[in-house]
Amino acid sequence: MNIFSLLSLIASVTCLFLGNFIYYKNPQNSLNRLVAILAILIGFLAFTEFAYRQAETIGTAIFWLRLSTLWPLVPAVLIHIALVFTGKKGLLKHELTYLLIYAPAVIISVVGLITNPAAVHQYWGWTYNLNDPSVLLFFVLISIWSLIGGVLTSLLILKHYFNTAEELEKKQTRYIFLGLIAPLIFSLTVDLILPLSSIRFPEITMVSATVGLIFIAYGVWRYRLPILTPAVAADKIISTMSNFLIILNTQKKIVLVNQSALNLLNYKREDLIGKSSSLIFRLKEGVWDIFQNINLDEIGQVKTFETEIKSSENNFIPVLMSVSLIKINENEPLGLVCIGSDLTKEKEIKRALEESERLYSTLVKTDPDAIITTDMNNKISYTSKQALEMYGYENKELIGHSIFDLIAPEYQEIARKDQEKIQSKDVLRNLEYKLVKKNGDQFIGEWNIAVIRNPEEKPVAFMITARDITHHKNIEAQMQASIQEKNVLLKEIHHRVKNNLQIISSLLNLQSMHIDDENALEVFKESQNRVKSMAIVHENLYQTGNFAEVNVAEYLKKLTENIYSSYGVDMDLIKMDINAQDLFLDINTAIPCFLIINELITNCIKHAFPDGRPGKIIIDFKKVNDKHIMRIRDNGVGLPDDLNIKKTNTLGMQLITSLTAQLDGELEVKSNNGTEFEIIF
C-alpha cells in the first residue's frame, strides 16, 4: 500500500467519525445534520479513492472510479449548507430551490455512472485517463459545477460575514468558510484545473476536505459551532416554546405555526400553512377577532386580549393572545405574529372557584347560625348578616375589633384558653359562653370554632359559627324540672303500690294466725309470698330511681331471702346459688317472671328436701341473642314418675304454666338427680 492510498483510507475513517461527532452534538439542528451528511459523503468518496488506487486490475479500478463520480453531490450539499447557515429559509421553502441545487449534481453523477471511464496507472495508483475524450468531458462538467458551487457558496458566506455585526457570528462564519470553502477551492485547483493543463498530481481533494471537516469539528467542540446561529436559536425557541405561535401574512393567510399550536388545534402543519386565518379565528361582527384587536397602522405595538380559536374538531378554545405587527421597512407591513396560551384549565378553575364562591355565599346567607372570621390575633375580619343581627352591631363597628369583646367578662378567660387549644385540634364544638350584645344585654351562646389553613397547612384564620341558645336552655331547664317532677310522682306511686302490697301481705299474715287448718294456713302463706314478690319489684323501682327496669340479680337476692325467711329455712342446710348476668327487665316482664321464680323456689323448699334433707338450689338467668334463658334446678328427690305437669291441678303449677304463656315462653321440665325447670322467653 503506497502512502497516497493510506492517506485516502485515513481520510475515509476520519470523515465517518467526524460526521457522527457533528451529528450527535445537536441532531435536531438542520445545519448539524447537513454537515454530518457532507462528512459521510466525503468519507465514502475517500474510500472509493482508496479502492481504485489499490485495485489490482483495471476492471476493479474502473468499478471504483465509476462510484467516485458521485462527487458532484458535494458542491450541492455545500450550497445547501450555505443557505441554511445564512438564514435563507425563504428560498428553502420553494421546491424549485432544491431542484436548482441538486438536479445538476444528480445529472452529472448519472452521466459519470453510465460512462465507462478510462483508467491509467500512475505512481500513486490507478486514476482517471484524461486523454480519453469521454473522461475529459466529464471532468470539464465536474469542474464547471464545482466552480459554480464554490463561487456561489463563497459569495453567500462572505456576504453574511460582512453583513453581521456580532463577533461570535463572524467567528462562526470564518470556521465555515475555512473548513468547507477553502478546501474546495484548493482541491478544485489541484485535482481539476492542473490535470486539464497536462500537469498530473495525486488527487488530494478528500484529504483536504477531511482537514476542513476536522477544522469544523474543532469549532463545534470549542465554540459550539454551528448551533449558536440566530436562525438555529430561533428555530429551537419556536419549536420548544410552550405557548402557541401563529404568523400571518398581510393576506391573512397562515405562513408559520409551531408544534404547540398544532398540538392545541389538533392539526397537521400542512393542513394550516397557506390557509386563511378564518380557519382558526372566530368571526365577530364581520371581522376576525385578531384584526378587531389591532390597528395595522400601529407597527411595533403589542395588543393582548382574550379570544377563542377553533380546533380541527370545530371546538372553540379560550386563549390569551398577544398580537403584534411585523414589517419589512417603516411603511411596509409583513404580517402579524400571534403568541398565546390555552386558557381552558384557567377557565375551568375560575368557573369552579366561582361556583364554590356562590355555594359558600349561599350557605352563609341561608345558614341560620352567625358566622364570624378572625385573623390569628383574634381580630374580626368578616361578619355575616346573622351575626350582625344577633349582636346588634353594624359591620364597620366589628371589623378589626377583638372577638372577645362579644363575650361576657367572666367567660373571656375560658374563651382564650379554648382558642389556644384550637390550633392543635383544628375544631372545637359546642362551646357555651355568656355573650354580650351591643346594648349590653347578655344571652347564652354556643360557638363552634375551626382553624382555616392555607395550602401550606399554615393556620391563617379562625372561623366561628355562633347561635343564641338561650331559648333552648330555658326549654331544657323546663324539661329537666318536668322530668324531675314526674320522677318524684313515679317514685311516690311505686312506693305507695309497694306499701299497699305490704298491707295486703300483713293482712294475710294476721288472718293466718286465726287458722288452725294446716292446708289453709299453707295457702295463706303462699299467697303472702306472691304478694311480697310483687312488692319487692316496686320497692326496687323506687329505691334505685330507675322506674322502667328491674335489676335481675338484685331482685333475686331479695326474693330468695324473703322466701327462706317466710318458711324458716336454714340457708346452711339448703344452699342457694344465683348466677345472673347484669340484666334488666321492664316491669311488664319482671312481675310474671319473678312470680314464676317465687313458685319454683317455694316448691323446691316444700317438696325437694323432705325430712330435713340437705341440698342446693341453683338459679341461672342469662340472655343469649334476643332470648332470656331461666333455669331453676335442685338436687333433691325429683318429681314423682306419674306426675304430668300439664295436667296437674295445683295452683302453683297452673300459675307457672299460665305466666310462661303470658311471657310467650317455652317451659321444659327435667327430673334426673333432682328437678330442673327451664323457661325460654
State whether 176 and 41 are in the same domain: yes
Quote the CA–CA distance of 466 and 380 in Å, as a whole number.
14
| 388-427: b (≥16 Cβ within 10 Å) or e | bebbebeeeebeeeebbebbeeebbeebeebbeebeeeee
- Cell reading at 62: 474502473
- Cell reading at 505: 301481705
State whether 451 and 420 are in the same domain: yes
State whether 335 and 376 are in the same domain: no
Is residue 485 in a domain?
A: no
* pLDDT, tens digit, 9 for 90 and up, residues 480-514: 776 666 665 666 666 666 666 677 767 766 676 76
pLDDT of residue 547: 59
| Mean pLDDT of all residues belonging to the chain | 81
* pLDDT, tens digit, 9 for 90 and up, residues 527-552: 777 777 777 766 665 566 565 677 88
Sign, CA torsion 492/494/495/501: positive
What is the pLDDT averaged over residues 414-442? Answer: 86
State whether 257 and 205 are in the same domain: no
Q: Look-up: residue for cell 327451664?
A: 678
Quote the CA–CA distance of 534 and 592 in Å, as a whole number.
9
State whether 332 and 414 are in the same domain: no
Domain range for 626: 548-680
Tell me the DSSP string of 529-582.
HHHHHHHHHHHHHHHHS-SSEEEHHHHHHHHHHHHHHHHT--TTTEEEEEEE-S
pTM of this structure = 0.39
CATH number for the domain that contains residue 373: 3.30.450.20
Q: Which of 406, 358, 360, 357 has its CA nearest to residue 380?
A: 406
pLDDT of residue 409: 92
CATH number for the domain that contains residue 620: 3.30.565.10
pLDDT of residue 363: 75
Lowest mean pLDDT, pick from 105-114, 293-302, 322-331, 333-342 = 293-302
Contact (CB, 8 A) for 239 and 259: yes
Considering 413, 435, 468, which residue would you say is the last residue of a domain?
468
CB-count burial class (<10 Å; 0-12, 13-18, 19+) for 105: buried
CATH number for the domain that contains residue 14: 1.20.1070.10
State whether 192 and 61 are in the same domain: yes
State whether 144 and 9 are in the same domain: yes
* pLDDT, tens digit, 9 for 90 and up, residues 564-582: 887 778 888 888 898 887 7
Where is pLDDT greater, at 293 or 67? 67
* pLDDT, tens digit, 9 for 90 and up, residues 246-292: 988 878 889 889 999 999 999 998 899 989 888 888 765 444 555 55
Phi, psi of 493 (to 5 degrees): -60, -50
Nearby residues of 332 by Cβ (< 8 Å), 6 or more positions away: none
Lowest mean pLDDT, pick from 135-149, 197-211, 607-621 = 197-211
Residue 122, pLDDT > 50, answer yes
- Cell reading at 114: 453510465
State whether 60 and 15 are in the same domain: yes
Lowest mean pLDDT, pick from 197-201, 310-314, 565-569, 607-611 = 197-201
Residue 515, pLDDT > 80, answer no
State whether 273 and 226 are in the same domain: no
pLDDT of residue 99: 93
* pLDDT, tens digit, 9 for 90 and up, residues 442-472: 999 998 998 888 888 888 899 998 888 888 8
* pLDDT, tens digit, 9 for 90 and up, residues 29-76: 788 888 889 889 989 988 998 888 888 888 898 888 888 888 899 889
Q: Which SS3 state, helix, strand or coil, does residue 375 take?
A: strand
The structural domain count of the chain equals 4
